[in-house]
Amino acid sequence: MKVTVKLYLIITLIVLSISSSYGQNDFATVNIYRPKMMYGSGARHHFIINGEKVCTLKSGGHLEYKVFNSDSLTIGVYAVALGTRGKLTKYHVNVEKGNEYYFKVRPKFNSVLMEEIEEPVLEKKLDYRLVEKHTDKAESLTINIESKNAESNSKESNADKLRELKKLLDDGIITQEDFDKKKEELLREY
């Protein structure tokens, strides 16, 4: 029992202390908002980015999509209401790393209209529980484990590293596979 608790604590601590090697200029962020509205609120909007189904947004939803591998996206969107699928509408978006892009979608008869906007949609028009975070990052990430300051570098425990790694997983920066691989490495070092 003591070994299990100790192992759990070590894993938890390591997850919270790993830092990512990516900076703000390594990706572009595309934000797609579906503000709360009465008209068409029962329909679900389905998003396909570069040929892959990414998510479905309800009224009040927000998709945050980080783009690492491309300078353009094809975003397909369609609505489904009462079991009936609307027309797929495609949008082509050029992106530049280090920038953020904002789009708002709304229902339009038998389709969905998406328009670029200058600023994020106000929080009061969104439901914070309906945020979807995705990325086009398919290949494995290289995770650098660094101490926040040089003095504590030797004192940093694997538990702290694992804790930070878990945070990266929860934020969608790394995949479950990357998390499991790094966790195994850290536990072997212990």
Q: What is the pLDDT of residues 92-117, one digit of tens each?
A: 999 999 999 999 998 887 788 899 99
Boundary-marking domain end, from 119, 135, 151: 135
Phi, psi of 130 (to 5 degrees): -110, 35
Say whether both 144 and 126 belong to one domain: no
- Tell me the C-alpha distance between 89 and 183, whole Å: 42
Domain boundary among 100, 119, 135: 135
Give the domain CATH number at 35.
2.60.40
- Cα–Cα distance, 142 to 180 (Å, whole number): 13
Kindly state whether residues 127 and 158 are assigned to the same domain: no
- Domain for residue 169, yes or no? yes
* pLDDT tens sequence across 25-71: 789 999 999 888 755 567 888 999 988 888 888 888 889 999 988 88
On whether residue 116 sits in a domain, the answer given is yes
Quote the domain boundaries for residue 104.
27-135
- Look at residue 4 and tell me if it is in a domain: no
